[in-house]
Amino acid sequence: MVICEVAKRARKLNSFQSISLSLCISIVKIFALDLKMAGNPHYEGDPKAVEKINNGYNVKPRALNIVWGNDPRYWEVPSSSDSNKPAELLQVCWLEVTGSVDINPKKRCEVAFEVSLTPDAFGWGGAPVYIMAKRGKKGKFAWKKEPLITSNNNNSNEGSEVFYIKTTSKPDPENLEDTKLYFGLYEVWSGKWKGGLKINKVIVKELLDSSS
């Protein structure tokens, strides 16, 4: 009888220890997540995820700066081992995704965001996105407004919807020293919650004919 009682207590103790350990692990994970978001809730792009291509760059999602990108409640950002996967917006009211590359300041450039909507995308009716680009920190923004869904609120662009925007038509003679091209995708004006947007990549190309 004594041996049986000891065995029962041992099992209860082991069960309690197992529950306590699981609880501690959960608390540590939550604490680590809070620390990560408290340190910087925004994802900072990895420059290693930028690929040089003919006359330009292929900018993978991991190379982009994403506001709230470090918070898994709002974004799913691919890991370094899955850098070809898209970054997916789960839910957010402030959409701001930016990046930069080095370009020839004497040539015009084209910036193309390739994005797609998931079947359960929401919040895009009456909330068009803006694509912006500028040369150097002192440059002027070129921009384009683009709706993601049609007026009947159907996700008609589900799949691969590509956006194009060009920088200023003529190189700025007073800004030829700065080779940076800054670009971004924004929707911060409607205040609406939205989700289901996948950012597949950004293509930046130098236009061969600088006068066109």
The answer, yes or no, to whether residue 34 has pLDDT greater than 80, is no
pLDDT tier at 144, thresholds 50, 70, 90: confident
Sorted by sequence, the CB contacts under 8 Å of residue 54 that are 6+ apart come out as: none
Contact by Cβ (8 Å): 142, 165: yes
- Across residues 40-61, what is the average pLDDT? 96
Write down the pLDDT at residue 137: 85
| Token pair of 165 as six digits | 């925007």
- Across residues 107-124, what is the average pLDDT? 90
Write down the pLDDT at residue 109: 86
The answer, yes or no, to whether residue 167 has pLDDT greater than 90, is no
Contact by Cβ (8 Å): 48, 33: no
pTM: 0.74
pLDDT tier at 166, thresholds 50, 70, 90: very low
Angular region, 10: left φ>0, alpha ψ -120 to 50, beta rest: alpha
Q: Calculate ∠ Cα 55-60-61, nearest 5°.
A: 145
Q: Which residue has the higher pLDDT, 55 or 75?
A: 75
Look up the CATH architecture of domain 41-206: Sandwich (2.60)
**Mean pLDDT, all residues of the chain:** 79
Nearest of 76, 93, 64, 59 to residue 193 by alpha carbon:
93
